[in-house]
Amino acid sequence: MEILRSLGIRGGIYRLIRYRMGAGRPGVQRRDSMSEGLQTCYRYLNETGRSFAAIIQTLDGELRDAVCICYVIIRALDTVEDDMTISLETKIPVLRNFHTFLYDPEWRFTESKDKCKRLLEDFPTISREFRNLATVYQEVIADTCRKIGAGLAKFLEKKIESLEDWDEYGHYASGLVEIVFSHLFSASKLEDTIVSQDTRLSSSMGLLLQKTNIIRDYLEDQLVGREFWPKEVWSKYAMKLSDFSDPENIVPAAQCLNELITNALQHVPGSFTFLSQHKNQSVFNFFAVPFVMAIATLGACYNNQQVFKGVVKIRRDQVMTLMKDATNLQATKAIVLQYVEEIHHKIPPSDPSSCETQQVILSIRKLCVSSESSASRHLYSGIYISRAMLLAAVGCLYLYAAWKV
């Protein structure tokens, strides 16, 4: 593996090879040194985190365990909010007091019917591993759970009416998650303190991810009675948000969809600035991969009627390519540029938000174009180096064959 690094094959490709070979997976590499409870937390991470789990498991040192436990805890908190079978009378106090349960060895919740209910039923295992973390990690995670729980409880009693509400909800649901991760990275000393100081930027990244999920999950949320699209936008196109699932309303539904995607794309510049602050390779990948996956998802959803009929997902091979390529800021900008250009080509001329979408894309293009040129120079340079290495190798084989003769 040192040969790969010395040849400049860093970040994505190297880590992808590690995934294939099992490195970075606690069950393969660190099982003997892990407690049974910590192994359980990683199992829950792999069951609920999907591709995100692989990114967490490439983090360096003790930070990996702290982020794993943090993710599983927030996932359990999120499960309480998501489960529509739990009454508000039960749900709201649980959300508001969730941070205190981290210090209660006996607390568990057995009333959930959600697919992630095991996280709540086995919460004593998770909370025990939380209490085994360094105090600095515990304080950051507990304080964030307090804020998230209070925010989510607020929006159980309040509908998302305006775009300001949409931003506020997104801050509680995902912005604070990006902030807590930034604080953990700073606390670990893998990143400078500046990473955790400008919470506006980390929240911007979180808003982009959360809005992407909300946009993509329209039908899933409708089927269980959840509504997260802001009324300020959808009311311009329908009497009720559920009207978009009617095939007769597919044109206004797509127009509303496009306006929301345009709003989400406005968080891209702040996300670029946020990514530029991270110097540690594993931490950069941690944030960059979900970011480009969100952009790819927005590209797939834009003006796509399938959002109202089923699930729109990016292909698995596409996910692997994004994980492989998003290893530095220049490459990440090149990826984003590719998808926003795809959106640009799909803008319907008659779309009410077409002008705004074009303006947002133009601003993103300006941020990316110089980086794209730089990335292209690096790419061509790499091609020439590879050709030179190939010629050198062929030459060596020729000389060896001649010597054998």
pLDDT in tens, 167-212: 999 999 999 999 899 889 888 887 777 766 778 888 899 999 999 9
Cα 371 from Cα 365, distance rounded (Å): 10
% of the chain surpassing 90 pLDDT: 69
Cα 335 from Cα 187, distance rounded (Å): 30
SS (H, E, C) 70-126: HHHHHHHHHHHHHCCCCCHHHHHHHHHHHHHHCCCCCCCCCCCCCCCHHHHHCHHHH
Q: Which two tokens stand for residue 282?
A: 């594993």
Q: Contacts by 20-23 with C-beta closer than 8 Å and gap 24+?
A: none
pLDDT in tens, 202-256: 889 999 999 999 999 999 999 999 999 999 999 999 999 999 999 999 999 999 9
User: Quick check: 275 and 329 in contact, CB under 8 A?
Assistant: yes
Which residues participate in catalysis according to the annotation?
A: 169, 216, 226, 286
Cα 387 from Cα 392, distance rounded (Å): 8
Note whether 10-158 and 211-405 share their fold: yes
Report domain 10-158's class: mainly alpha
pLDDT in tens, 90-144: 999 999 999 999 999 999 999 999 999 999 999 999 999 999 999 999 999 999 9
Cα 82 from Cα 173, distance rounded (Å): 11
Cα 374 from Cα 334, distance rounded (Å): 10
What's the gap between Cα 129 and its chain centre? Answer: 24
CATH 1.10.600.10 for domain 211-405, yes or no, is yes
The pTM of this model reads 0.83
What average pLDDT does the segment 28-42 reach? Answer: 79
Locate the domains of the chain by residue range: 10-158, 211-405
